[in-house]
Amino acid sequence: MEPATSPRKRNPDGGALFGSSITQSAAVNGRVILSTMNKAHWAKLCGFASLGCSSFFWAALLLRLSVTVPRFDFSFYFFIGQWALAVVLALVAATLGSNRWAYAALLPILNWLGSFYLVGG
């Protein structure tokens, strides 16, 4: 038996559902998860995708320097495109949600400056 203050809810069939409206709508009503996402969820999704695009260069570089992983031959223009996408995603996240996501737009710019310095300009 769960306490009355539990975040879990029970459906009429007896199965436990989490308190999230996304999980409830997907499990109970059979709706697509993306249809129930609000602006805050989209802002977080875009913001974290921006951080992923920004850090992809360093992850690929570490994998490239590893001996056991096959060699990745991405051009520098590919990474410039990744960083441009990261800036756009960060600005979308800042528009939809918290303005703190605008600081995430600085990360790809700093990545470009750091890689430009490492390559030697």
pLDDT tens for the 121 residues of the chain, in order: 555 554 544 445 444 444 444 444 444 455 555 556 788 888 999 999 999 998 888 888 888 777 776 766 788 888 889 999 999 999 999 998 888 888 888 888 888 888 888 777 5
Distance CA 111, CA 77 (A): 14
Residue-level pLDDT at 20: 46
- 71-75-78-80 Cα dihedral, nearest 10 degrees: 120
What pLDDT is recorded for position 19?
A: 46
Cα–Cα distance measured from residue 69 to residue 87, given in angstroms and rounded to the nearest whole number = 29
